[in-house]
Each structure stands twice: as structure tokens, then as C-alpha cells.
Amino acid sequence: MAGPSCTSSANPVAEGSTACSALPPGGGPVWLFDLDNTLHNASAHIFPHINRAMTAYLMTHLGLDEPAANQLRMDYWKRYGATLLGLMRHHQIDPRHFLDATHQFPELHRMVVFDRALGQMLRHLPGRKIVFSNGPQAYAQAVLRVMGVHPHFDAVWGVEQMRFHPKPLSRGFRHLLHAQRVHPARCILVEDSAENLRTAKRLGMTTVWISPSLRRPAWVDHQLRSVLQLARHGVRSHASR
Ligand SMILES: [Mg+2]
């Protein structure tokens, strides 16, 4: 549970206004940044590496051959938004063991693809900044260190901090809101996953989609091709409008 100040609602419209009624919405913006394919390009090297490691893990621990393991990994990713969630639900996999085994990067500094202008953009962006990643916290911290942007963030949330309720599940969001003592109307989620933004919008957050897509879902408030455009785009939280 996220805590006594947060309540859930079956009505997605009402949910935003009642999500954390005990916490006032005042104060500056709180930026929640997804990590992979938002702050850096994970598709180039890191995702293929993780995918191979996950497939190998499923082969070893579930006794599957490679095509079956690969298929199961992708099925859970599509169905739950995170392979981890399917493995926890259907196979009682130990999440810490799985995450540790699948996030080993002996050459991480060679794998992170990012724009050097990221640090400057973050420096000029007013407000609290929190990384909100479905990956393990140690991995998120390591990627931030490689990019040299870790001093710009007030907190780094991995899936362990969400108590293994990854985005797009609202429980993970509620854990963060409660622990950081922040009202959702102050939050701006910056994400490449439209599905994760849908939960954020339901909770009352402002949503920024990092995507080149020509089709923009109704719950997306702002769409940018790159996170680097954020500072000059003038994005504001609902609480500051
Ligand atoms: Mg992402």
C-alpha cells in the first residue's frame, strides 16, 4: 500500500483529484524522468544485452529452449510492460536475483549512448528531479554516473523502491508519491512509454512523451522528439498553471 494519505478510485477521472488528498499541491514542479530511451538511447546496446541475459535466465531457470525463452520474455513484456512482472506472477521468480543476473554490464561506459547536452539541459530545468525507472536502482545510478548527470537528481527510484510494482502499475507511482511526499498535480512524467504516461495522467500528473510518433494518445500533454527540448518547451505542472 502507498500509505494512508493515498486512496485508489475506480473512476480514472476522479482518481487524480483524490489520489493524495492529504498532501497540498503547492510548491515547484517535480520532474519524474524515465531512464531508458528517455535520458539515453538504450536500444543501441543496452536493451539487446539485457534481452540476451533475460532469455538465458529463462532457459536456465525455467528449463526452456532458446526460442521458447525468447518468446516468453517478449510475451510478458507486451502483456505486463515488464518481463519481471510476468515472472513474479507466473513463476515465483525471486525479483532481486533476476534483476541482478540480467543487469551485469562489465563495459557499461561503452554501451550508454547519450547526448552530452543532457547535463546542461537538466541544470537549467527548475524544480526537483527524480529518476523513475523500471530497472534496478544500481543500474540506473550506474548509467547516470556514466553520463555525468547524477548530481542533477534528488533521488533515483528503481523497481525495488516501487516494491516491485513497475510502471505502468499505479501502485509503484503511489509508493513514490507517498515516499517523496508530493502531490501528483506537481509531477511531470517524462517518458518514452505511452502506456506508463497513461497511468500518470490518471493520477493527475502532467505527461511528456518522448517519441517521434505521428499518433499522439489523448492522455499525452506534450510530445517531444528528444528530452533535450524540454527546457525551452515551457512544460508546466498542473499545480503551477
Ligand atoms: Mg523507457
- 38, with CB counted inside 10 A (0-12, 13-18, 19+), is buried
Residue-wise pLDDT tens for the chain (241 aa)?
A: 333 333 333 333 333 333 444 455 667 899 999 999 999 999 999 999 999 999 999 999 999 999 999 999 999 999 988 899 999 999 999 999 999 999 999 999 999 999 999 999 999 999 999 999 999 999 999 999 999 999 999 999 999 999 999 999 999 999 999 999 999 999 999 999 999 999 999 999 999 999 999 999 999 999 999 999 998 888 888 887 6
CA of 22 to the centre of ligand 1 (A): 30
**Residues 39, 147 contacting (CB under 8 angstroms):** yes
CA of 19 to the centre of ligand 1 (A): 24
CA of 141 to the centre of ligand 1 (A): 15
CA of 31 to the centre of ligand 1 (A): 15
Predicted pLDDT at 1: 32
Which residues make Cβ contacts (< 8 Å) with residue 30, sequence separation at least 6? 127, 128, 129, 130, 180, 182, 186, 187, 188, 237
Predicted pLDDT at 23: 57
Give the 3-state DSSP-derived string for 191-230, with helices as H, strands as E and coil as C.
ECCHHHHHHHHHHCCEEEEECCCCCCCCCCCEEECCHHHH
CA of 135 to the centre of ligand 1 (A): 9
**Distance in angstroms (rounded) separating the CA atoms of residues 30 and 178:** 13
- Quote the cell numbers at residue 11: 473512476
CA of 196 to the centre of ligand 1 (A): 9
**Residues 167, 173 contacting (CB under 8 angstroms):** yes
Q: Phi-psi bin for 230: left (phi > 0), alpha (psi -120 to 50), beta? A: alpha
CA of 102 to the centre of ligand 1 (A): 17
At 97, is the secondary structure helix, strand, or coil? helix
CA of 191 to the centre of ligand 1 (A): 6
Q: Where are the alpha helices (DSSP H) in the chain?
A: 12-18, 46-62, 66-80, 83-91, 95-102, 108-111, 118-123, 137-147, 170-179, 194-203, 230-233
CA of 37 to the centre of ligand 1 (A): 5
CA of 208 to the centre of ligand 1 (A): 12
CA of 78 to the centre of ligand 1 (A): 14
**Residues 134, 167 contacting (CB under 8 angstroms):** yes
CA of 163 to the centre of ligand 1 (A): 19
Phi, psi of 26 (to 5 degrees): -65, 170
Single-letter amino acid code for the residue at 69: A
For each of the domains in the chain, give its residue range(s) and CATH number, in order of start: 30-41+113-240 (3.40.50.1000), 46-108 (1.10.150.450)
